A and B are shown apart, each in its own frame.
Chain A
Amino acid sequence: MTEARDAILRRLRANRPSARPLPPSYQPRYSPAPGERQARFTERMRAVQAEVIELGEEGWVNWANRELPRRKLKRVLVGDHAEGQAFAAMADPSLSVSAYSEQIDSWKSRLFHQVDVAITGTRGAIAETGSLLLWPDASEPRLMSLVPPVHIALLNRQQIYPTLAEVMAGQNWAQSMPTNALLISGPSKTADIEQTLAYGIHGPQQLIVLIIDQTSGLI
């Protein structure tokens, strides 16, 4: 094992290529006015068949209680945190709400087969590419945004940033990378047959983004 390591490194050092300068910092060309970011994000998301809904005054719990029964999304998975518990307490009686409170090992099959929709928060979004930023953690684990057929993501309007480069630099990702960081830009899709787009292959078949305000309540 170390034998291979040493041999590989030795070979790489035996004939050193000429030195190269450290590349200058990348300056993305895209620089929208703050007011344009949401429009760009929404346009990009809708172009890949994601639903983007601006909630305005209404809280997301109210929206979920109205829309989820109508869309027949009854088995709802929420994060293991106060907001998730609050939703469970206020949920429409036709919904069955559970929190991601156990290690996956004991209920993996149930997650794959008996959850209709998961609701997660986000760390914000990127306007240029129409991408949601997620850092899954103990309260909202990785599989939530991946396994259920519908993913509902809550996005704070004040957290739509212009580009990935600016988010990484502005939030100092290099010093604080989590176990898993994700950019999600639409429902899962493939073009592997005849280069023809088909949505909903292995990940969620639908992505619904609810844009909320920092100040808005749950209701």
Chain B
Amino acid sequence: MNQTEAFKQRIDAALGNQQVRDNFRKAMDGLMDKRAEALQDPEELQYLRDQAAAVRAYALANLPELLEQLEQRLLANGIEVHWAQDGAEANRIIYGIIDQAGGSTVVKGKSMVSEESGLNDYLIERGIDVLESDLGEFIIQLANEPPSHIIAPAIHKNRHQVAELFQRFFPDEVFDADDIEDMTALARRILREKFARADVGISGVNFAVAETGTICLVENEGNGRLSTTAPDIHIAITGIEKVVARLEDIPPLVEILTRTATGQPITTYFNLISGARKADEKDGPKQVHLVLLDNGRGEIHGDADFIDTLRCIRCGTCINHCPVYVQMGGHAYGTVYPGPIGIVLEPQRQGIDRIGALTSACSLCGACGEVCPVEIPLPQLINQLRAEAVDAGRSRSRVHGKGSLRKPRESAAWKLWSLLYANPVLYRSFRFLATRLRALSPKNTGPWTRYRSAPRPAARSLADLARQDGFERD
């Protein structure tokens, strides 16, 4: 099956599940409302967006130097630095650290980058006990499903579906299956023991500060702090684009991140880690490692048409506001990152020939570009990827799989159209024929007429009618 057919099947499956669609609708409406409430002053919002976009663009323009500075500062702070070109290399590095320390249990804080590399499966196959500790991630790990949203991974499940999972996996625990607080308390009990015993904690990274060698983590639950503080070893994994130049770049970024993502003035915890346990300190990890993962980012960075993709701070706001995402949910995309940012990022990461069909899951309404806190021109990038997919021949981009979705009939149709519209004689003949032979226009035009009636040319063209009313020229 080709990727377009496979994508259509995933969409059909998603649209057929009314329960899941209701869950998404409710959650996305809630997230949009909270954001609107938290960012009521349009001038303040625009100032924050401009500032955040400038900070990220500056970092990308100086990325190699900042990564070197980050590495040097981290090493000076006692944090080990590892570089990985792809997910497989990152997995090997992380397993190597765990294995060398004789570790067997891992608690994990949320990390989308680790989803890119399939880290959990890799470690589990090698006998490591890996437990996701963010409540949403914990739920979907039980369900053996990937995240359906980058900041709310279990958003496709309602409380009853979560309760069923808990009953299945923890049959001895007593809890009220209708009470979210009770289920939260259950997760606390179960995970607390794991935090106390885990050998290794793994986390993602929200921002890495080159100036000070600092890893910044944003979270509400405390699982991120526990994963990075309680075990003897902390391994953080990040994409190479997450670095910023200066500590003073952090306040505007964290402010717009939390306000735009969930409408919170700030998350419960903002955790800035700049070292391992020092000799006189009594807790904290004895080793801290940072894995810098490229995994296609270097290619995107070198592509002037698409480098803005890398400004992304993974807030999920474009996803929350996407009218296509809200209908079909995160799993239909079949990729790590769903929604508008997924449509832009995944075909660049994996190649248009593998996943370019995602670009069709967009109505070009422009909402994502309007809300993006770092002003990524998402609608323009989606549109350009569509052009790249059929090799419309107007770009210097080097995105993989260019032209792989080009169809001979479609491309012939557009060639004919441009010929007709460029030549007045041909155009007038076409207009004459189309109006006079309108009875012959097809009633069935495939997917278009599945839910709509077929378009039919008018009996007389606008130009004819105008001339009839006394207008002289065509």
A residues apposed to B, CB below 8 Å: 1-2, 4-5, 7-9, 11-26, 28-29, 44, 48, 80, 100-105, 108-109, 112-113, 128-131, 137-138, 141-143, 146-147, 163-165, 168-169, 173-174, 177-196, 198-204
Contact = CB atoms under 8 A, between A and B. Distances in A.
Given A17-B304, A193-B159, 9 more contacts: A4-B85, A26-B249, A109-B196, A131-B266, A168-B250, A173-B212, A185-B266, A194-B23, A202-B195
Given A9-B64, A104-B283, A192-B153, A177 B251 contact: no
B312 interface: no
A173 B213 CA distance: 12
20 contacts: A1-B82, A2-B83, A17-B61, A20-B54, A26-B248, A112-B195, A141-B283, A168-B251, A179-B281, A185-B265, A190-B184, A191-B262, A192-B134, A193-B162, A193-B180, A194-B180, A195-B27, A195-B31, A196-B159, A202-B223
A195 B247 contact: no
Contact of B230 (A18, A24, A102, A143): A143
Contact of B251 (A16, A141, A164, A201): A164
Interface stretch (B115-123, B292-300, B452-460): B292-300
B467 to A, nearest CB: 51
Contacts of A164: 250-251, 254-255
Interface stretch (B186-194, B375-383, B385-393, B421-429): B186-194
B173 interface: no
Contacts of B61: 16-20
Q: Which 6 pairs, one residue from A and one from B, show the smallest C-beta to C-beta distance?
A: A203-B222, A15-B302, A192-B136, A11-B298, A23-B54, A183-B270
Interface of B: 23, 26-27, 30-31, 41, 44, 47, 51, 54-55, 57-58, 60-64, 67-68, 82-85, 89, 133-136, 139, 152-155, 157-159, 162, 180-181, 183-185, 187-188, 191-193, 195-196, 211-214, 220-223, 225-226, 229-230, 232, 240, 245-252, 254-255, 262, 265-278, 280-284, 292, 294, 298-299, 301-304, 307
Contact of A202 (B191, B232, B262): B191
Contacts of B301: 11-12, 15, 17
Contacts of A177: 212-214, 247, 272, 274
B131 to A, nearest CB: 12
B145 to A, nearest CB: 14
B455 to A, nearest CB: 42
Given A128-B265, A189-B221, A181 B272 contact: yes
Contacts of A203: 221-222, 225-226, 268-269
A26 B251 CA distance: 8
Contact of B248 (A130, A168, A195, A202): A168
Contact of A165 (B23, B153, B251): B251
